[in-house]
Chain A
Amino acid sequence: MQTLPIPHVDPMPLPGPVWLFVALLLVVFTLHVAAMNSALGGGLWALWNYLRGRHSNHPYSRRLANELSQMLPVFLAFTVTLGVAALLFVQVLFGNFLYTSSILIGSFWLLVIPLVMVAYYGYYYFSYTAEKGKGIAGCVLSVSVLVLLVIAFIFVNNMTLMVRPDRWLAMYRAHANGWDLNLGDYQLVPRYLHIVNGSVAVFSAILAHLGMRKMKSDEGYGRWLVQRAALVFAGSTGLQFVFGMWLLMAIPRQIAMSLLRDPLAGSVFGLALITVIAGLLLILLGSLSEKPSALVNAGFGCVLATLFLMVCLRYLLRLAYLKPYAHLDALAMRPQWGVIALFLVLFVGGLATVGYMLWLVARGRKASAAS
């Protein structure tokens, strides 16, 4: 085999143990995906209900679109914030792969930044205008959602390209200016559909959970929401199986097999199948039952677990791809334990601060509702 051009790893030792970086990566990436699913899936939900509310004057759709309009900018804010953390940790472990693939599609990759700004300002615009329901609010929202779909596509290009060093040199020779995408890759289409459709599914589960809470204050609206969300969740989850299978078939047999035969990856996969089916059943049953709360809650928990397991599986798939080229265990290491401890303390402190602020918000809401 001819040696592939792969940049060597950084000569400096890792400032912490690999397991810690992997753990942090998996956790923040799961949170990032949850936020991203909310921003994208939520955008699609908002668009559909906004249009429906306007044309058929459906009061619940209207109300949902309004409520979502307030949440979308926040979802996007946390998508970005959590994404930054994931980017930070993935660079530590796989920098030599990720920088390379990013450069190869560099011009598109950098385009992500202005695109996010467009989508973000669009969401803010929508949050100010949705309620009045006038003007170009719907158009702006569509543009934002469309732009997010494009961004997702660029990301999938990069993530699939970083594990394909065999494609790199030819791509560089064709377009050294970075106006290139990983279009020929067999993973690309199924993986894109998997993540976009997954966004709808995950956010529908979140909505089911939200609807259940709304039932406390407005029974009719809450129930409508739970049932709608459960329906869409079921449909998109079904579709998700199709795209997932497509993806699995698209991956070279040898890699797919090594993944499924690996005891760890195999059990993660098996467990994910169990949790997703459990989540599906629980949410569907919950939406039909008189008192949905316990069932929907449990189902929602299962969906979150599935999300985490899928993120782990995605990581293991990357390892399977990079097996011949990346040797995480062999990386030199010089952990900065003192600094790590400080980070963990700050991390807990930061979470506590955010918790405290949310408590203040809730207290304020209660007080102002009462007066």
Chain B
Amino acid sequence: MNYPHWQLAFPGGLLIGVVAILHVFVSHFAVGGGFFLVTTESKARRENDASLLAYCKRHSKFFALLTLVFGAISGVGIWFTIGLVSPEATSMLIHAFVWAWAMEWVFFFVEIAAAIIYAKTWETMDASSHMIIGWIYFVAAWMSLFIINGILTFMLTPGRWATTQNFWDGMFNPTFWPSLVARSAVCFLLAGIFGYVTLPRLGDAAREKVARWSALWTVGGAVVLPIGLYWYLAKLPLFSHLYLNGSLIGVTHAVRGGLGFTALAVLLAVVFGLAKPRWINTPVVVVMVVCGLGSIGAGEYLREFLRKPWVVNSVVYANDVRAAEVESWQQKGIARTANFLTTDNTASLEYGRNVFQLQCGSCHAATGYRGMKSRVDGWDAAFAADILQHIHVLRGTMPPFAGDETDRKALGKYLASLNDEWHFTITGANRLEIGKKVFDARCGHCHTVNGNFRPLRGTFENATGPQVQDVFPALGSMSSNMPDFNAPADQAEALGFYIAHEANLPLAHPRAPEAPPTGVGHSQLQRPLNPREEVR
């Protein structure tokens, strides 16, 4: 809020995600593919295989065009994007790690020079010099991964840095090595997949050889990858672990998608590379590349998600608010602390929209991807203003609201304005259905009835609708994190009916409350209310 907020029609985080996924896809290939090229070259020379060497030449041209241009420029694209979307976090990282980036830049520089030379000197350089260039390329590329990996893992697990602020503590943080292993494995995997893109034509002697050889890389990467990931999971902080317990649909999809894409890519490599290399054809290669992109996409999505609500754990929230400033903003209010607002009139809807952009805009937009409209349907302005105090305990991964009462009211008004106010004619036939709608709007963000996210069954089992309804006026005082109940009487009645109905359904699979990965408690309730307190 120090900085102007770039007001987009979609969440800024989505933009970072898209740019990052494309870049990671190509840049990991840039590392693994370098290794692939130079080892394939030496294999070709050792075996005196002219057609394999011709393949290397062609592949190196493709490699240079993809990595030097798209790979390198999209990397700059990440710089541009994070500076635009999260200037505060970018600035923080630059202050802590500018020398890491400077070192990384040295390797980047060497890498670019080596890639250009390697692709251009097939004819004019003797074999051993040419391979030296290839090796220099690979070492430089992998070293730049090594350094960037330090900064990326730091953002999730600052480790001892949190107390010492020591550069090396930050770099070699708890997830540094596991992540390095996983990323290196991905580099191999992608090198194999991309190896097929320039597959020699049908009838070329090298075609089957390349198909087999590339498959070995993909399979090799796929063998090491789970080891890295397993180790990585073991080092994750508690709050990240809890996101994996199944209560967040996006996370669940990403885990399934990531596993599925990777498994399919490996399966194709085994079948069309190792078992029946004669069968390989363009559509198969296309599917493999798409699978590679899919698994990178899922992996990056998860990595970003597990870090929520932070950009830099314990320092800067995902909405670019510094943890240290939250309290003062809650006291002073946004109108007095934000440098750039499009209006000074705190009573206006436009002000509410500004607050939304500042506090929620990096992860939500009004409509579309992770859109607000459907998520706040049924909220009235007073309820919205109230629940905003507890935004960090909703399902999701949200930072605390950093504004005062005026700001909450303004944002509440804005959120309520996204949908029409609810008016129902409740009958016996639609009572249950409407009760569910009311539940979703007023309780479902923080509770389930029978699920594993703050289940209400324990409280309301054996209660009747009116008995449930009797509890409502007391809700606000039952937990410091629960909003006051203010729904109209007819909706309250339907809600009571619905909760009582659900809480008394026989459970399909009566089961003991499942233990989350941390081993205590029975739901996401165990997640520390203030993730700041927990740094591992």
Contacts and interface: CB of A to CB of B under 8 A. Distances in A.
Interface of A: 5-8, 10-16, 24, 73-74, 77-78, 80-81, 83-85, 87-89, 91-92, 95-96, 98-100, 102-104, 106, 109-110, 112-113, 116-117, 120-121, 124, 168-169, 172-173, 176-178, 336, 338-340, 342-343, 346-347, 349-350, 353-354, 357-358, 360-361, 363-365, 367-368
A121 B69 contact: yes
A81 B124 CA distance: 26
Interface in B366-418: none
Given A103-B3, A172-B342, A15 B81 contact: no
Given A81-B108, A113-B74, A360-B125, A88 B99 contact: no
Contacts of A363: 129
12 contacts: A11-B322, A81-B112, A84-B105, A88-B94, A96-B91, A120-B73, A176-B5, A177-B8, A342-B103, A354-B109, A365-B124, A368-B124
Given A173-B342, A350-B109, A361-B117, A92 B4 contact: no
A6 B4 CA distance: 10
B107 A360 contact: no
Given A5-B339, A361-B125, A168 B4 contact: yes
Interface stretch (B82-90, B176-184, B198-206): B82-90
Contacts of B129: 360, 363-364
Contacts of B95: 10, 12-15, 92
B286 interface: no
B277 interface: no
A74 B69 contact: no
B414 to A, nearest CB: 15
Contact of B3 (A87, A100, A354): A100
Most chain B C-beta atoms within 10 Å of own C-beta, residue among A89, A342, A343, A365: A343
A84 B108 contact: yes
Nearest to A99: B87
Interface string B2-13: 111111110000
Contacts of A15: 95-99, 167
The SS class assigned to the A binding surface is helix
A343 B102 contact: yes
B263 interface: no
B80 interface: yes
Nearest to B15: A110
Contacts of B231: none
Interface of B: 2-9, 19, 65, 68-70, 72-74, 76-77, 79-81, 83-84, 87, 90-92, 94-103, 105-110, 112-114, 116-117, 121, 123-126, 129, 132-133, 136, 140, 167, 322, 324, 339-340, 342, 357
Chain A CB within 10 Å — which of B65, B69, B94, B110 has the most? Answer: B69
Interface centre among B106, B129, B322 (most CB of A within 10 A): B106
A103 B4 contact: yes
Given A11-B324, A113-B19, A361-B124, 11 more contacts: A15-B96, A83-B76, A91-B90, A91-B94, A109-B80, A120-B69, A120-B73, A176-B342, A336-B99, A343-B99, A350-B110
Given A87-B79, A99-B90, A110-B84, A16 B99 contact: yes
B123 A368 contact: yes
Instruction: Name the residue among B70, B72, B91, B107 with the largest chain A CB count within 10 angstroms.
Output: B91
Contacts of A91: 83, 90-91, 94, 98
A99 B91 contact: yes
B234 to A, nearest CB: 29
B8 A102 contact: no
A110 B4 contact: no
B107 A350 contact: yes
Given A15-B96, A117-B73, A74 B116 contact: yes
A357 B133 contact: yes
A288 to B, nearest CB: 36
Nearest to B343: A173
B243 to A, nearest CB: 28
Contacts of B72: 77, 80-81
Contacts of B108: 81, 84
A32 B136 CA distance: 24
Contacts of B125: 360-361, 364, 368
Q: Which 4 A-B pairs have the closest CB atoms?
A: A364-B125, A99-B87, A5-B339, A12-B95
A360 B116 CA distance: 13
A361 B322 CA distance: 50
Given A16-B99, A110-B84, A364-B125, A10 B91 contact: yes
Nearest to A76: B69
Contacts of A16: 98-99
Contacts of B106: 343, 346-347, 349-350
Given A84-B76, A100-B4, A342-B103, A77 B68 contact: yes
A81 B103 CA distance: 13
Contacts of A74: 116
Given A110-B80, A110-B84, A343-B106, A88 B132 contact: no
Contacts of A8: 2
A345 to B, nearest CB: 10
Contact of A88 (B87, B98, B123): B98
Nearest to A350: B106
A10 to B, nearest CB: 5
B121 A364 contact: yes
Nearest to A174: B342
Contacts of B123: 368
A114 to B, nearest CB: 8
B447 to A, nearest CB: 36
B112 A109 contact: no
B45 to A, nearest CB: 16
A124 B68 CA distance: 11
Contact of B102 (A11, A73, A85, A109): A85
A24 B105 CA distance: 13
A367 B123 CA distance: 11
Contacts of A95: 87, 90-91, 94
B173 to A, nearest CB: 15
Contacts of B69: 117, 120-121, 124
Contacts of B339: 5-7
Contacts of B340: 5, 168-169, 172
